[in-house]
A and B are shown apart, each in its own frame.
Chain A
Amino acid sequence: MKILIILFFATVSFTSTALEYKRLPSCYLLSDSLDTSLPSDSAMYTFEFNGLSEENTQLIYSSGTNTITYNFENEHTLKLILPSGKYKFEFYISGYDEIVTGKLEIQKQHHSTYRVQMEHQVFKGQMKKPVIYLYPKENLEVSVQLNIHGQDPFYYPEYKNSWSFTADPTGQLKFGESTYNYLFWEANMDAPKIDHNYGFMVEGDNTVTFLEEQLNLMGFTSKEQADFITFWGPQLTQNKLNYVNFIFNEACDEFAELSISPQPDNIFRVSMIWQPVNEPWELESPLMEKMNRNGFTVLEWGGMELPAIYDAAEI
């Protein structure tokens, strides 16, 4: 087992290096032309920013020593007239990765237009303890495959392209001589986009009551609730206040696609997305789902903690 884990890490580190090289350049030249209307020693840069939305009105840029705050007008474009030469620029827009260009050379009376590709800062979170319970109507040979959209997965029991086992109606999963109550996976991945207008404000001290109530409404058994609450309860209880939201069913495909053969009658998936917050804000009730336990039923639950929110005005 230990050897497997070490080998596994070696593979992952190779893949992640390969991925970095695939990234497109974030700043590249679109056109360069002579413009005799410019003063004889000067040149003009035009930077067209791509990937922004209308709310992005402010740019902070620097070339060398000066750092300047610039407000975009109609377009996400910055025009600069400078003496000809070589310049290195830094661009920063809130919520996006900072861009540092190479040294961009410009000739006298030239007009160079560059495209600057802005990328959203995506928080990498850890999808924690998704566990999968399976309850067939009678003893059944089952195969489960996962397509995880993330990195560094951890599985238990051992996963070799799939999990294959015999499940019984009480939810016991037999892998040869070994019996388990659930399948387990975990991985690092991009945090989902959450609409912070919907969800729940949960006081740390009220965590257990809140979770019991919600999990009951969803249709969890008390054993499944115990697994969920003993895992998440202590983590939420540590904070004075948490924002909590749930993602259900097909929306969980964003984290991992689940294929089960034979096809269950009902699959219920829920991910709890939560983060510590300083102050509450007004929330609308989110749309909650309830599981149907008719026939061959599968339940998966997991969750992700997002970074704390210290200032509700940022929402």
Chain B
Amino acid sequence: MDKAGLTTKEQADFITYWGPQLAKNKLNQVHFKFNDDCTEFATFEITPEPKTVYRIYILWKPIEKSILLEEQFIEPVIRDGFTVMEWGGLIVPPMPTN
């Protein structure tokens, strides 16, 4: 969340929602989706048009064994002008492994 550039208040909202759910499991696989990749979940229109719209979704699932993954690049929010931030997430069965 620091890398993504969420403020501590935004982080608190995110972590108090998802944290306890992930912490229940010994191990989780976590993947993030950003911006245009989030249109598969929902699209929105905002008037007047914001200068920055940033969307971040956490996709995760509990796993039994550690698997080798390349660390994902976390796209940061650039808070320039009228900024909109949306976060969400879902528990998923399959996830990208690259």
Contacts and interface: CB of A to CB of B under 8 A. Distances in A.
Interface of A: 5, 9, 128-129, 131, 152, 154, 156-157, 178-182, 184, 186, 231
Contact of B19 (A9, A156, A180, A181): A156
A274 B47 CA distance: 38
Contact of A181 (B9, B17, B23): B9
B92 interface: no
Please report whether the interface of chain B is mostly helix, strand, loop or mixed according to DSSP: helix
B16 A181 contact: no
A179 B9 contact: yes
B91 to A, nearest CB: 14
B12 A156 contact: yes
B65 interface: no
Interface in B3-42: 7-9, 12, 15-17, 19-20, 23-24, 26
Nearest to A175: B8
* Chain B interface category by residue count: 10 to 19
B21 to A, nearest CB: 9
Interface of B: 7-9, 12, 15-17, 19-20, 23-24, 26
Contacts, number: 29
B25 to A, nearest CB: 10
Contacts of B7: 179
B19 A154 contact: yes
Contacts of B19: 154, 156
7 contacts: A128-B20, A129-B16, A156-B15, A156-B19, A179-B9, A184-B12, A186-B20
A156 B7 CA distance: 15
Contacts of B8: 178-180
A147 to B, nearest CB: 19
A156 B23 contact: no
A302 to B, nearest CB: 11
B23 A180 contact: no
